[in-house]
Structure 1
Amino acid sequence: MPPAVPSPILRRRRLGTELRRLRESAGLTGDQVIERIGWASASKLSRLENGRSRPDPDDVRVLLELYGAEEELRAELLGITEEAGDMRAWRRSYPVMTQQQLGWAELEAGCAEIREYNPVLVPGLLQTSGYARLRIMSANRAADAAGEPDGAEDPETEVQARLARQPLLDRADGPRYTAVLEEAALGHRAGPPEVLHEQLVQLCELAMLPNVTLHLLLRDTRIGEFYLPPTAFSLYRFADPQDPETLAIEGGFIDAMSTEANTVNRYKVAFEWLCSAALSASDTLTWLFTATGRLTDTAAPSTAAAGPAAAPAQRRRHSGRLTER
């Protein structure tokens, strides 16, 4: 099951931010620091401050001494240094992981709250294996058609890695999760009836978890003064209030991240607009149950047999699985 603690990558970013703040408070430039402690390369300090390298506790102690950090802060940052260095132990918490899914898993670990919107897809944390497989295979075909290697893992491994992130939502101490789903993400263009049926069953099930809130945005719903959200995005707020809120913008083939407060705040406002325009959580659940019923007759018999009403009984907390299989 995914760990409840922040990922080492997040710890490295936090450590780097604190070390930079302490250096600037001490009135020192990077070159002055390198000269005083005798490091051979200025890039070593840069990598530490930007969270791009595994921190050595001895190096951090030297910097904290130079900056005159108070004892309590030293203990806190040395603890973060230990967490930042233990990547293997953190990754062992996932049964399967790939490089493509790792970035999302790093953001999700240690979150207190996740908010997501996608104009055309069901977000990855909510996808069934069948829905995820379709998305991954279609993206691979686009790369093949462009004459470029997609660079991804084996598709089935990628599917399992995506599913490995999902028990985060089914955990007693999991983050508060809110998603705005577009009706188009569950329409006929998204997949065959049996895949959509399974996905709808799972959404019904997830929507009844106490920490999960789903809102559906119907096709013709107007958002404010005809606001159109330009892209998929996710907002992450972490359990440690010192870790900055993070925005991830998903562009299909290119993703971007930002912790810049003004940028994050704009997307927070946009998310509130989306929630206000979308169906309420209870109306969304009603819509999902109704849509599941409509697909029951056209879905494959083995899939349809479960039915939406059976889904809640099939889920158990700490099961480590989000699908019925």
Structure 2
Amino acid sequence: MPPAVPSPILRRRRLGTELRRLREAAGLTGDQVIERIGWASASKLSRLENGRSRPDPDDVAVLLALYGADAELQTDLLTIAREAGDVRGWRKSYPVMTQQQLGWAEIEAGCAEIREYNPVLVPGLLQTPGYARLRIVSADRAAETAGDPQAGEGPETEVRARLARQSLLDRVDGPRYTAVLEEAALGERAGPVEVRREQLAKLCELAMLPNVTLRLLQRTTVIGEFYLPPTAFSLYRFADPQDPETLAIEGGFIDVMSHDANTVNHYKVVFEWLCSAALSATDTVSWLFEETGRLTGTATPSTAAHGAAAAPAQRRPSGRLTER
């Protein structure tokens, strides 16, 4: 099961932000710092402050002493520096991981809240193996056609890595998770009936978790003054309030991360608009059960609604899934 602590990558970003803040508070330029501590490379400090290199706690201790950090802050930041260097130990917490999935796992670790929207897909943390496999294989085919030499390498490993990330939601101390789903992501273009039926059943199951909220945007729903979200995005808020909120914009073949508060706030507003336009969490669960029954051919709307209401009582108090 993934660790409940931030990933080393996130720790590096936090450490870099703190080191830069302390340097500026001390009234020192990067060149002045390099000169005073005698480092041979001017880029070493830049890489530390930008979170691009694995920090040496001894180097961090030298910087903290130069900046005049108090004893308590030094202890906290040296702990963060050690966590930032333990990449191998952190990755061992996952049974399987790929480079593509690692980036998402790193940012999800240590989250207190995750909010996601995708106009065409079910978000990765909610996908079944069948749905995920279709998405990965179809994307690989597009990459192969484009001449990507890494395309088509180990789709099953990629599926298992995506499933390893999903246990984050099933954890007792897991983050609060909210997703706005598009009805189109579950329609006929998403896959064969059996894949869609399995995905719908999975969403019904996940919606019963106490930390998970799902909201559905139906095809005919109008958002505000006919606003159209231009892209898929995710918002991350971390357990440590000093770690900056993060925005991830998913573009299919390229992804963008931002910690800029102004940019993050724009997407937070859009997410609130999406939630306001979407079905309520209760109505979404009823829709999911009804649609699952329709594809199964064994349930009516009335029994689906009854199942949605009864399902919470059938779950264990811990909120953990009985089967993944």
Give the TM-score range, shorter chain.
Answer: over 0.9
Aligned residues: 315
* Alignment check: 8 A CA contact 2:3 2:109 kept: yes
Task: Determine whether 1:108 maps to 2:122.
Answer: no
Query: What residue is the counterpart of 1:124 in the other structure?
Result: 124
What stretches of structure 1 move > 4 A for 4+ residues in a row? Answer: 307-322
Alignment of 1:21-60 (within 5 A): 21-60=21-60
Alignment of 1:1-325 (within 5 A): 1-151=1-151, 153-297=153-297, 323=324
Q: Secondary structure at the match of 1:170?
A: coil
CA distance change for structure 1 residues 214 and 152 in 2, over 3 Å: closer, same or farther? Answer: same
CA distance change for structure 1 residues 322 and 252 in 2, over 3 Å: closer, same or farther? Answer: farther
Q: Aligned partners of 2:56 and 2:138: how far apart in 1?
A: 42
Higher mean displacement: 127-136 or 24-33: 24-33
Query: What residue is the counterpart of 2:304 in the other structure?
Result: none
Q: Secondary structure at the match of 1:122?
A: coil
Percentage of identical aligned residues: 81
Q: Secondary structure at the match of 1:158?
A: helix
Give the drift of 1:89: 1.1
* Alignment check: 8 A CA contact 2:117 2:123 kept: yes
CA distance change for structure 1 residues 19 and 320 in 2, over 3 Å: closer, same or farther? Answer: farther
Query: What residue is the counterpart of 1:303 in the other structure?
Result: none
* Alignment check: 8 A CA contact 1:115 1:235 kept: yes
Aligned-partner residue type, residue 147 of structure 1:
G
Query: What residue is the counterpart of 2:303 in the other structure?
Result: none
- Give the aligned CA root-mean-square deviation in angstroms: 2.0
TM-score by length of 1: 0.93
Give the drift of 1:25: 0.8
- Write the deviation string for residues 72-123 of structure 1: whole angstroms up to 9, x where unpaired: 1111101111111111111111000010001100111000000000000000
Aligned-partner residue type, residue 246 of structure 1:
T
* Alignment check: 8 A CA contact 1:315 1:322 kept: no
CA distance change for structure 1 residues 280 and 8 in 2, over 3 Å: closer, same or farther? Answer: same
* Alignment check: 8 A CA contact 2:209 2:319 kept: no
Higher mean displacement: 288-297 or 265-274: 288-297
Give the drift of 1:125: 0.2
* Alignment check: 8 A CA contact 2:210 2:319 kept: no
Consecutive unaligned residues of structure 1, counting only runs of 5 or more, are 299-306
